Chains A and B, each alone.
Chain A
Amino acid sequence: MAAAAAGRRPGEAARAGDVSSRTQSTRNDEPGAPTARNVRVGGLDCRVWEKGEGELLGFLGGLRGLPRWTPFLERLAQQRRVVAPSLPGFPGARGHDQLDDLADWVSATLDLLEASGLEGHDLVGASVGATLAAEAAAFSRGSVRRLVLAAPLGIWDPEQPVADLWAQKPRELPALLSSHPERLANCLARPEHHDAVEWQILLARADEAAARLLWPFGDLGLAKRLHRVRAPTLLVWGSEDRVVPPSYAKRFANAIGGWTEVREIADAGHVVEIDQPDLAADAVLAFLS
């Protein structure tokens, strides 16, 4: 594995032109902010956020990654030591144009889990992050202890097709993704100290990274590998998911090789952990306790 933990490098100067270093929230001075360090994956610096005490719990963010620390993670961090590494291309990490195919993405995910000390621990993923968490668990059983997948993509049901996330009018996208668009907006809002242009670029790079993996359908053929997932798995789904319909929860549960549980959360869309942070976090903690 090419990854090596680069360790904490507080106050490390950003390289010229290295936008993600410059804009990342390592100097997050908001009260209650997580600590941040960088690890290197395939030559790329990836930010790792950490907060809380107790047993390790990893988190891989959703479609736009983690531009900000979220209420969901805050709740989890009250009981667990939450470690949230950024996948290449997502906020906190560069490299949106470097990973080409599934092998590249899975290998980077496994590298990232190792480098951030998460190998063999409990892992939560949301949306695209859940997809990669499931892939990691399928390709490398030892990489994950217990798994929580919140609305993963990666399989395809012709009767209930996944929405085309990349053919939407921008103003209609929040309502497609979320049952509480104002909560989604909060998670994507630019922090005051942040440059307005670079913040938009940061989010655009995240869209690009997700599309790079999932274009055009989000079907990665994961159905062929889910039997290899032996980790006990919780599937969390928003009952109003308009991107990946809730019926997919059962498809995932049936295909996964290990013990599974499905938890549907009312009044929540695709970004279930953003729409209902407390309910989603409580479901995760109950499953893992």
Chain B
Amino acid sequence: MKLLWFHLMPYTDLPEDFAERHASVWVDIDPGLFDPRRGHALYNEFMDELEVAAELGFDGVCVNEHHANAYGLMPSPNLIAASLARRTRDCAIVLMGNSLALYNPPTRVAEEMAMIDCISGGRVVAGFPVGTPMDTCYAYGRNPSQLRQRYLEAHDLVLRAWTEPAPFDFHGRFNQLRYVNTWPRPVQQPHPPIWIPGGGSIETWRWCAERDYVYSYLSYFGYKAGAATMRRFWNEMDALGKDRNPYRAGFLQFVGVGESRQEALQLYREPAEYFYGRCLHVDPRYATAPGYASEATQRARVESMVARAAKGAAGGQGAASSFDDIVERGYVVVGSPDEVAERLREVATELGVGHLMLLLQFGNMDRQLTLHNTELFAKRVLPQLSDLFDDEWEDLWWPRPLPAAARVRPRELAT
């Protein structure tokens, strides 16, 4: 299986009483809470962490896009990816990804990803999320009821921009371009593998199946909550006549490794509570936008609400915020290297996930703790897992870089 190191790049200095004193970590987060001097340190630490992960043998490093968000400091993941393309050698660079409907024109995405694919020698994975309402509709002002149509149109445009052999014109509902001509072209031909980060909608699964894309379920709530979703995903793949190749799927999991379970429980309590208490403090005013969810999704939601009301049952349980609950519910897998390896083997097998994306830095973990977690994982967990699935399945969705001998090595810094 593939083990990938995923960075959200959270701001680590939100005050302790953040959730009480501030309405939201996202959209209207107080800009006064951002200290650019800390920003300087954090970006460099975070980029170091991604580079170390690559050196320690993770199969890939992942970055993603958020806007006006204190737990995701990458409005442009492509900037980080460009640096990683120079400062890492063999690992995949997984852009998880670019919210296509936000780029105007969307050919910008085709161009930038092609640049990074060239710089890295063909190591890019192209992730195309629709994006959350907070990022796309509120922070970026996109009309929610056009977002999906814009996304799909932009997808078609980017694909053609990568693959058409001659300049062409594109006359879409939202994009009109007389001349589309992508220079440069990606090293990976016809284009980098495409992964679709999603939240569990059946339309997205069908679309991934139809296009033969990786579906990547990015939830912050761990394998226990994710199991039901992934079961439905695989049932849908069965129904659509697709095989159960685990490399069709990606899954995000928070992990904290210690020398012992005891140590892990001590080390990761504070950062986990920081993430689930402060980073996920999102004002519900921004959680939905009219038209963001498809009518089918809305109907499913209303039906389950009506059914619950009819049974007189209360709404679903809220997200856990205390460490004991966080661990109990599987949001974060914590333990000794062997315990974590065993649990992740079960997770990968049960959920049928060949691309496991690991959040080994989360919340306010500092560099020292992050590197401790990363090293323990790389040296003592990763070797126990890396051959999983490979006797049976081939990863058809992994980058195909130039041979090592054909790749240029960046020069070392003089000082």
Q: Answer whether residue B173 sits at the interface, using C-beta atoms and an 8 A cutoff.
A: yes
CA distance A166 to B27 in the complex (A): 13
Within 8 A of A (CB), among B125-164: 137-138, 141, 143-146, 149
Measured CB to CB, the closest approach of chain B to A177, in angstroms, equals 14
The count of residues in chain A whose C-beta lies closer than 8 Å to any C-beta of chain B is: 21
Count contacts between A and B, CB distance < 8 Å: 64
Measured CB to CB, the closest approach of chain A to B322, in angstroms, equals 25
CA distance A204 to B149 in the complex (A): 18
Chain A residues touching B, majority SS? helix
Asked whether A197 lies within 8 Å of B303 as measured between CB atoms, the reply is: yes
Q: Answer whether residue A215 sits at the interface, using C-beta atoms and an 8 A cutoff.
A: yes
Known: A168-B285, A197-B303, A201-B299. A216 touches B141 (CB 8 A): yes
Q: Answer whether residue B262 sits at the interface, using C-beta atoms and an 8 A cutoff.
A: no
CA distance A87 to B141 in the complex (A): 24
Binary A-proximity of B291-315 (CB < 8 A = 1, otherwise 0): 1000100110011001000000000
CA distance A29 to B286 in the complex (A): 39
Q: Answer whether residue A114 sits at the interface, using C-beta atoms and an 8 A cutoff.
A: no
Residues of B within 8 A of A97 (CB): 145-146, 149, 291
Asked whether B144 lies within 8 Å of A169 as measured between CB atoms, the reply is: no
Q: Answer whether residue B290 sits at the interface, using C-beta atoms and an 8 A cutoff.
A: yes
Binary B-proximity of A104-120 (CB < 8 A = 1, otherwise 0): 00000000000000000
Asked whether A215 lies within 8 Å of B144 as measured between CB atoms, the reply is: yes
Within 8 A of B (CB), among A183-218: 196-197, 200-201, 204-205, 207-212, 215-216
CA distance A210 to B290 in the complex (A): 9
Known: A166-B290, A197-B303. A212 touches B145 (CB 8 A): yes
CA distance A215 to B289 in the complex (A): 10
Q: A100's contact among B173, B295, B306, by CB below 8 Å, is which? A: B173
Residues of A within 8 A of B403 (CB): none
Residues of A within 8 A of B138 (CB): 167, 216
CA distance A212 to B138 in the complex (A): 14
CA distance A61 to B143 in the complex (A): 22
Known: A97-B149, A166-B289, A169-B285. A196 touches B306 (CB 8 A): yes
Task: Show 30 A/B contacts (Cβ-Cβ < 8 Å), sorted by A.
Answer: A96-B145, A96-B291, A97-B145, A97-B149, A100-B173, A166-B289, A166-B290, A167-B138, A167-B285, A167-B286, A168-B285, A169-B284, A169-B285, A197-B302, A200-B298, A200-B302, A201-B302, A204-B290, A204-B298, A204-B302, A207-B290, A208-B144, A208-B291, A209-B145, A211-B289, A212-B291, A215-B137, A215-B143, A215-B289, A216-B141
List residues of A whose CB falls within 8 A of some B CB: 96-97, 100, 166-169, 196-197, 200-201, 204-205, 207-212, 215-216
Additional A-B contacts beyond A167-B27, A167-B138 (7; CB < 8 A): A196-B306, A197-B299, A208-B145, A211-B290, A212-B143, A212-B145, A212-B146
